[in-house]
Amino acid sequence: MLFALVYAVIRLLFAANDPAVATAPVTVVLSGIYWRTMWKYEARGYRHLSWDSGMMLANLFAVAQAMGIPARLLLSFVDDEVDRLLGLDGRHEVSLALVPLGDGATVQPAPTEPPEINPEVRPLSSREIEYADAMGAHDASRFRSTPEVGAFGKARSAHDMRVLAGDRRRFSKTRSFRPRTADRVVPMINERNSSTAEG
């Protein structure tokens, strides 16, 4: 089983094309099930997958930072490869984000492939409607190869969204993020010209 787990890490490293996966003891993968939101919001439910995963990621990063655990958000990966590793069908449930947690682990190549994950999934309801527009949006944004992931990463390297515990968080190369303390709130409001104060 250990060889299977190491193989899975190597496959994730290949799929994400990012060394953070190789040195992280754990990589959290967020997935989304279309019908969980689309039964209520129809095609617009696709947006709720992003909103909900964003909320979970915010909490995960807050906890990681509080515990001093390095964490990195990876949104670029070979979708089919990650889905296959986790036993997701890529149609009803899809991988949305990878978060390598921690660093310092060493991974050696494994000689065998892990056993296929094929969970028995109970339907969420007696019938399910597929919204082609939502599924088409996800399909159009899939990466299908490691070179595609690498090319996209190079193109957006100026907008890297790394979050490393202990480091200052950078949302762009030009402006760094500092926690908003009470003594910074008023100057921030004035700087943005968004004051709602009367008088």
**Residue ranges per domain, the chain?**
2-192
**pTM check: above 0.85:** no
Residue 192: per-residue pLDDT: 62
Q: Output the CA torsion 174→179→180→183 (10° steps).
A: -100
Residue 58: per-residue pLDDT: 94
CATH no., domain 2-192: 3.40.109
Residue 124: per-residue pLDDT: 81
Taking CA atoms, 83 is separated from 52, 55, 69, in Å, by 19, 22, 26
Match 């986790």 to its residue by tokens: 86
Residue 48: per-residue pLDDT: 92
Cβ density class 75-104: b for 16+ within 10 Å, e for less = ebbbbbbbbbbeebeeebbbbbbbbbbbbe
Residue 52: per-residue pLDDT: 93
| Sequential DSSP letters for the chain | -HHHHHHHHHHHHHHHT-HHHHH-SEEEEEEEEHHHHHHHHGGGHHHHHHHHHHHHHHHHHHHHHHTT--B--B--SBHHHHHHHHT--SSSEEEEEEEEE------PPPSSPPPPP------SSS-----HHHHHHHHHT-B-SHHHHHHHHHHTGGG---B-TTSPPBSSSS-B-----HHHHHHHHHHHT------
Mean pLDDT by 10 residues, the chain (199 residues): 43 72 86 91 91 93 93 91 89 91 73 74 85 88 88 64 40 43 59 53
Q: How far is CA 148 from the centre of its chain?
A: 17
